Structure 1
Amino acid sequence: MPKTLRCLIAAVLVTALCAPPAAAQADPTPVDDPIPEKPTASGLTLTLEEFASFPKTETTPEPTDTRLVRWARINYLGELPDGSRRLFVNDLNGKLYFLDQGRPREYLDVGAAFAPDFVSGRGLGSGFGFAAFHPEFARNGKFYTVHTEWGAALTTKTPDLTPQPGTRFHGVITEWTATDPKANVFSGTRREVLRLGFNGQIHGIQQIDFNPTARRGDKDYGLLYVAAGDGGRGSSSDDPQNLAIPQGKILRIDPAGTNGANGRYGIPAANPFAGQAGKLSEIYAYGMRDPHRFSWDPQAGNRLFLGHIGEHAIEAIYDVGAGDNLGWSEREGSFVFNKADRCHLYTLPDDDAQYGYTYPVAAYDHDPPPGHSCTSDSGHAVTGGFVYRGQKLPLLYGKYLFGDIVDGQVFFTVAAEMDERSGRRATIHKPRLVDTSGRQLTMADLAGSTRVDLRFGRDGAGELYVMSKANGKIWKITKAGWTPPDVLPTLRKDLVAAYDFEHPLPADPAQEQDQGLSGTNITLVNGGAAMRVADQAYRGSTYALQTRQVDPATAGNDDWKAGVYGADGVPTLRAFNGVKGATVMGWFKMLGDGPAPNSNTEDPADFFNAIGLAGVLSGNSQGHDVRALLELITVNGELRVVALARRVDGGASQTFAANKPWREVLPRDQWVFLAATFDFDTGTMKLYRNGRPLDGFYSVTGDPWGVEGDPEPDVTSATDPRGIKIGGSYPQNTREQNPCDCRMDGLMFLDRVAAPAEVWAQYELLRLR
């Protein structure tokens, strides 16, 4: 799907999602709390181990802003792309360091090289902002830096592209060529590549970088991305929307080319505005206030994620593509920015889709304390991070880690949820942070300051680092554990999805937040928040899920059920792709006799042949076919508790049915802990009641899963499941099928077979709480 079409679809969806219930209004209306949902506490626990400590540095000149008084203004950690495994770190006050076994060694003094024009003591982003090493550094010795100049430079040097009126600072990109790329101290030459002029001391050039996912021969290979802020003028001008100037844009240039404005860089032919009259050919994307940090996800389409610092209230992450317009300063996040009203953002207009703005895939707002002036800084600013694709921390895999610069809060989202086409922002989670002794702490604790000045880094293996300017230290994330409540420790790392019905999504109580690893939130269909009822399945439980058939006499889709469905699959459930086993377990209380009358026919004597409990759909499911399911179904003319699954999409299913009558397994008005395990490699299934195995039989003879005769492990289809269904089929609500008049709690979906001892221990863990 073309990017522009995706933007239009996303804009339509976001308009519907962000507007209040009475949003069919022609004019935008003010919003007091733009993003009511807040980052939620997660069971993911990250261990931070001190990695490096940097020497104290001073600004040039002495600062007039106390926020610049830091131990060391370290700004980024990266790895040289030459196979040497050397790490580099830049300090805004001027130094470029290489790390030797965690000890910083000065490689180059950028500040001294450009004295006396170099400035780092005016503005939070001034100084030596970033370094980017060419992907062929090992061969050509080239790397690039960006720094800030003032003083004589303002009269003796000229910006290459249109400067802002009243320019007071220059952002300068320099190419350095090392005589010996293997050396640990720089010696070589330099040349200026690009110079931009900014009116203010804030929102200059924040980052320059090469796409590390591009390979030789790719159109993106060797191209330099430049994140240029609005110079502080965006809130009072249209600079970010003006395609004739560079401010408020991400630029993309070829440092080896010559057809740029000054002949010292080139214009990539694939740039979205290349050759268009009145538009800068250098622009890759636009409509930005302060594009603070961007990074590429090495997988899943190599998407470019940007952390964008807001003006009034919104801190946002964007999925940025060529030609995208993030909307500033017409939009802040997915809201209208009104230059005349500094105290409110506004809902989107009805015709918003026509503008084609790109909206955030994740965002949070400032939530200033009571009494805080709406026109002053509330002390929040997002710093973009990275999607973890390393090999050492599987529980962190596929999660985008980012944070808040000021207070040092660390957040994550599930990268697969960060999809602008969905029109829904990804849920933001807050992991627990611990030191190597297991003591829980905050980044403020580690930094020794309430102003952390948080940044992130990534090495060549994809491992992640956090850093603080407050004390000039870097910590490496060395462990990722999972400590969700009410889950046996041995099951935690395989808990794909879990629902205790104590965690409604703050912005939409008709959704339940996943307490498992995947972040797959589910919808409470038809009944919404009313489906959470006060009941105690186990000690410590407060609410349970109520499912039921609402009106058996009327054909329709009014049954209360829960789940998630995606016609193209649900990427967050990818853990069930190509697996050897699965487990579904939870607490169930039957309230009716069942099965329910078939509301799809006019025959009052026609009843459904099953009662839906909980399961994972297959990769080609219409909302009924399953990969792994715990259910009651008619087997040989009699309703029984079963485990039912198919290994291959579209292939034959197998059913394992309990011998014991279903009313003995699930007595009316009594909570029972049920579990079903599915071993796709051996072709076996098991059922458990209150931790003990249930005797049973298979309904299909032979080898319906096709596991015989193949020496390789037999696994499920390598397709994304189309969702989860709970309390009935068709969670997309296109049909009523197999409704359950029952209550459920503590539902768990694992991507492996739980051992009998684990099923018993999980039951005991909750029963004895």
Structure 2
Amino acid sequence: MSGRAGRRAVAATVCALAVSALALVPSAGGKPGAGGAPSASAGDGGSLRTGDGKGGFRLVDIGHFSQPVYVTGPKGAGGRIFVVEQEGRILALRGKGKPRTFLDIHKDVEAGGERGLLSVAFPPDYGKSGRFYIYLTKPGGDIAIREFKRAGRRQDRANRKSGRTVLTIEHSKYPNHNGGQLQFGPDGLLYIGTGDGGAAYDPDENAQNRGSLLGKLLRIDPRRNGDRPYSVPGSNPFVGRDGRAEIYAYGLRNPFRFSFDSADGSLLIGDVGQDRYEEIDYETLDSARGANFGWDAFEGTHPLNEDPSPDPGGTTKPIFEYSHAGGNCAITGGYVSRDRKIPALYGRYLYADFCKGQIRSLVPRPGRASGDRSAGLPVKSGISSFGEDSHGRIYVANLSTGKVSVIKPKGRRK
């Protein structure tokens, strides 16, 4: 065995041994970024103001949890915040009240490394329909998207018996690159971010294969349609063409976290890199339709030097990348802040690196981001996710400390 195949086999073995922590973390190393997208190493640039006065903000802990990997506060939930624990539980929290178990399906989940219960999404009509969706890895490693319903009018309890499988994606070969994000887009449809299937350098070439659902952004209507568990919008780019109809965009490595700007519906993806670069992709829903984000021909804006896949041409470049210099390892994508009570962050995209104790922000623009800098907030490494509630407040979940926090204006005590 030689060349790329040999390197991939070694990388797969190393990967299997390295998933004792949340294995968003690829190997560190590399050079400072260069290319079409602006590049940085965490620590570059200035800090946003966090002291008292106009524009100041701070982190306020809302609770400690067991391996929190996602947090969200949807409309129609009576002001509740939902925290996803990797082992298979979702807890509901309202105000200063005690967290209550909303859903416990830990017996149905294979957790550890990158696997587990990874996110939850609530549709725009959640207040009326009570339905919601979860992204999990089943025993054996396959990805499952499942639907559940709230237990009648009880806002803090789901009906476990209401569960049904919407979609299953085979993912048993390697334990990493499971993706994990669900989001309802501004069009009311469910978007699903899947990883490329695992190991390193995409050994099965899934990301560029439009016949595979791995390494993709999928778009479906998750509601049951007759005897079909879901339906595919006719406007999806590969309906009636060469490729799976569920695919909305492709060429992704591990889009563990992506989001939509609540102001204009723009799509932002934090795609975890291989050995050298992490990237942020930014597109309108229209420009993302059918987009090829380049993996595994490119890592960030850089052609992959390890016997790369042929350049597919016409790839969509990230608006920002940063290198693994200084101990960076894996991006945790976040949200564009639309909290008008914090003008210093308004319109800025917040993100972190899993291996760095730092939250950063930038201004996303078509083609190129600007103003990347530290938010100056006191955090430790291990940030697994950001979240957003119906008021535009931004939350931070930390897998290492178990803390879930909210960003609030400085001086506010409520």
TM-score (norm 2): 0.82
- Specify every segment of 5 or more residues in structure 1 that has no aligned partner in the other structure, as ranges: 1-30, 56-71, 152-168, 215-219, 369-377, 434-441, 445-450, 482-769
Work out whether 1:273 is the aligned partner of 2:238: yes
Does the aligned pair in 1 maintain the 2:358–2:376 contact within 8 Å? no
Correspondence for 1:142 among 107, 119, 131: 131
Does the aligned pair in 2 maintain the 1:137–1:181 contact within 8 Å? no
Structure 1 residues 467 and 391, CA, compared in 2 at 3 Å: closer, same or farther? Answer: same
Structure 1 residue ranges, 4+ long, deviating more than 4 angstroms after superposition: none
> How far apart in 1 are the matches of 2:262 and 2:94?
26
Report deviation, 1:32: 4.7
Correspondence for 2:144 among 148, 165, 172: 172
Does the aligned pair in 1 maintain the 2:70–2:84 contact within 8 Å? yes
Correspondence for 2:181 among 207, 224, 241: 207
> How far apart in 1 are the matches of 2:153 and 2:282?
34
Work out whether 1:194 is the aligned partner of 2:167: yes
> How far apart in 2 are the matches of 1:83 and 1:143?
11
> How far apart in 2 are the matches of 1:83 and 1:129?
20
Does the aligned pair in 1 maintain the 2:331–2:352 contact within 8 Å? yes
Correspondence for 1:249 among 188, 201, 216: 216
Q: Secondary structure at the match of 1:428?
A: strand
Q: What is the aligned residue count?
A: 363
> How far apart in 1 are the matches of 2:85 and 2:40?
36
Q: 5 Å matches for 1:228-307?
A: 228-233=194-199, 234-258=201-225, 263-276=228-241, 278-299=242-263, 301-307=264-270
Does the aligned pair in 1 maintain the 2:197–2:206 contact within 8 Å? no
Report deviation, 1:83: 5.4
Identity score, percent: 31
Does the aligned pair in 2 maintain the 1:78–1:88 contact within 8 Å? yes
Report deviation, 1:136: 1.0
Does the aligned pair in 2 maintain the 1:412–1:428 contact within 8 Å? yes
> How far apart in 1 are the matches of 2:238 and 2:231?
14
Structure 1 residues 425 and 398, CA, compared in 2 at 3 Å: closer, same or farther? Answer: closer
Report deviation, 1:150: 2.4
Work out whether 1:184 is the aligned partner of 2:133: no
Structure 1 residues 460 and 425, CA, compared in 2 at 3 Å: closer, same or farther? Answer: closer
1:551 aligns with: none
Q: Secondary structure at the match of 1:101?
A: coil
1:367 aligns with: 325
Structure 1 residues 264 and 392, CA, compared in 2 at 3 Å: closer, same or farther? Answer: same
Q: Secondary structure at the match of 2:154?
A: coil
2:366 aligns with: 419
Q: Secondary structure at the match of 1:172?
A: strand
2:338 aligns with: 389
1:316 aligns with: 279
Does the aligned pair in 2 maintain the 1:44–1:480 contact within 8 Å? no
1:97 aligns with: 91
Q: 5 Å matches for 1:539-688?
A: none
Report deviation, 1:81: 2.1
Structure 1 residues 427 and 43, CA, compared in 2 at 3 Å: closer, same or farther? Answer: closer
Report deviation, 1:177: 2.0
Letter paired with 1:406: C
What per-residue deviation string (whole Å, max 9, x for no partner) do you get for residues 236-259 of structure 1? 342100001101001111112549
Work out whether 1:467 is the aligned partner of 2:397: yes
Superposition RMSD in Å: 2.4
Letter paired with 2:183: D
What per-residue deviation string (whole Å, max 9, x for no partner) do you get for residues 480-512 of structure 1? 69xxxxxxxxxxxxxxxxxxxxxxxxxxxxxxx
Does the aligned pair in 1 maintain the 2:31–2:324 contact within 8 Å? no
> How far apart in 2 are the matches of 1:201 and 1:419?
34
> How far apart in 2 are the matches of 1:408 and 1:32?
21
Does the aligned pair in 2 maintain the 1:204–1:230 contact within 8 Å? yes
Does the aligned pair in 1 maintain the 2:78–2:155 contact within 8 Å? no
Structure 1 residues 235 and 34, CA, compared in 2 at 3 Å: closer, same or farther? Answer: farther
Does the aligned pair in 1 maintain the 2:33–2:321 contact within 8 Å? no
> How far apart in 1 are the matches of 2:149 and 2:406?
30
Q: 5 Å matches for 1:322-341?
A: 322-340=289-307
Letter paired with 1:410: I
> How far apart in 1 are the matches of 2:165 and 2:282?
31
> How far apart in 1 are the matches of 2:252 and 2:183?
17
Work out whether 1:110 is the aligned partner of 2:105: yes
> How far apart in 1 are the matches of 2:299 and 2:125?
38
Report deviation, 1:89: 0.8
Structure 1 residues 78 and 43, CA, compared in 2 at 3 Å: closer, same or farther? Answer: closer
TM-score (norm 1): 0.45
Q: Secondary structure at the match of 2:207?
A: helix
Structure 1 residues 298 and 183, CA, compared in 2 at 3 Å: closer, same or farther? Answer: closer
Q: Secondary structure at the match of 2:142?
A: strand
Q: 5 Å matches for 1:476-487?
A: 476-479=406-409
Q: 5 Å matches for 1:44-63?
A: 44-45=49-50, 47-55=57-65
Give the greater-gyration-radius structure (CA): 1
> How far apart in 2 are the matches of 1:308 and 1:205?
9
> How far apart in 2 are the matches of 1:79 and 1:181?
17
Report deviation, 1:333: 0.8
